[in-house]
Amino acid sequence: MNLETVMQELEGLGKERTKKMYVSNGAREPVFGVATGAMKPMAKEIKKDQALAEELYATGNYDAMYFAGVIADPKAMTEADFDRWIEGAYFYMLSDNVVSVTLAEADIAQAVADKWIESGEELKMSAGWSCYCWLLGNRKDEEFSETKLAGMLQKVKETIHEAPERTKSAMSNFVTTVGVSYVPLHEAALETAKEIGPVEMVREGKKNSVLKSADDILKQVEKGRIGFKRKYVRC
């Protein structure tokens, strides 16, 4: 399949209701409104195609950009490629659910995520913290430095309340994910979450969210899910 046929296929799969939902969350035209599940047959046919993924991402069409992440070959992508993708990610569903997910399957994931976390730019920071959530939820505990993650928990505790709104959400998710998926720091993450307390996240045009990472961790404790790991990062 080439760019033209994929775009035609995506347009045909678009639904007005789904489009409205994406737009209400920050997507902007062009957008077709394709449900992620509807992309699976096409993804199965294409598998990985980095050249096509780059063409799709460059269209600026939200659905095409999302599908680019589905068929991308993360291990073939360089730091410059990921930097280009994050620059094109104009709202959180791209930064946190496409770019950071794709990065999480690359060998350079932690190095790139670390750089984005220190960038001072809302969506880069959000993508960096989100990438660690995807990593921790999939990779073995031994692949991480306990000291480094403990330092990151401390950074969240000290800065989350003053962080940009989307970064707050990703930071809160990071604390929860450490508490659930990284067993060596379960207790430390829960203690950090309690010290942070509720975090209010302002959402444009919507009711504000209150993030409660301590409650989220404790819910997973009750379900016996501490140590949970996903088999795959990307669906």
* One-letter identity of residue 63: D
Share of the chain above pLDDT 90, in %: 96
pLDDT confidence of 235, banded at 50, 70, 90?
Answer: low
Please name the residues in contact with 23: beta carbons below 8 A apart, sequence gap of 6 or more. Answer: 31
Q: Parse the chain into domains and list their residue ranges.
A: 1-72
* One-letter identity of residue 220: Q
- CB-CB contact of 8 with 38 (8 Å): no
- CB-CB contact of 65 with 26 (8 Å): no
Q: Judging by beta carbons within 10 Å of its beta carbon (0-12, 13-18, 19+), is residue 65 exposed, middle or buried? A: buried
Angstrom distance (rounded) from CA 75 to CA 50: 10
pLDDT digits (tens, 9 = 90+) for 54-113: 999 999 999 999 999 999 999 999 999 999 999 999 999 999 999 999 999 999 999 999
Model pLDDT, residue 139 = 96
pLDDT digits (tens, 9 = 90+) for 109-153: 999 999 999 999 999 999 999 999 999 999 999 999 999 999 999
Pairs from 27-30 (Cβ < 8 Å, separation ≥ 24): 27/62, 27/91, 27/93, 28/62, 28/90, 28/91, 30/59, 30/60, 30/61, 30/62
